[in-house]
A = this chain, B = another copy of it.
């Protein structure tokens, strides 16, 4: 049984986030001392799972859905594969973009618009429109 301050310290997450996560059903407190929440230490593992899911690009809602009602992780392999494939596509796009940026940074052309590589990037940028992708990247402190 650890209190919220302790959990915050050990997880590196602010207490406000822990309350928010509890509200969202991502973690559970097991009681109170006064008003103060008490958690089981294994919530730390749970928080790692949440950080992992967020890192992989899942939304908090998706992460929440990955826990069975009993609290055990219930991970859908097809969903993981799908996310892996999505990451793979993202990686491809980012690599092209990175290479293009590097080129542009070193390109001798006085005006970028005259550089063929730059113009090719422009074309690529104009392709592949897919509306509304969340895709926030951030990790979680060591837990």
Contact = CB atoms under 8 A, between A and B. Distances in A.
A129 B48 CA distance: 12
Given A77-B105, A106-B77, A126-B48, A93 B140 contact: no
Name A's interface SS: helix
A133 interface: yes
B12 A55 contact: no
A11 B111 CA distance: 23
Contacts of A72: 111
Interface stretch (A1-9, A24-32, A33-41, A78-86): A78-86
A142 interface: yes
A51 B125 contact: yes
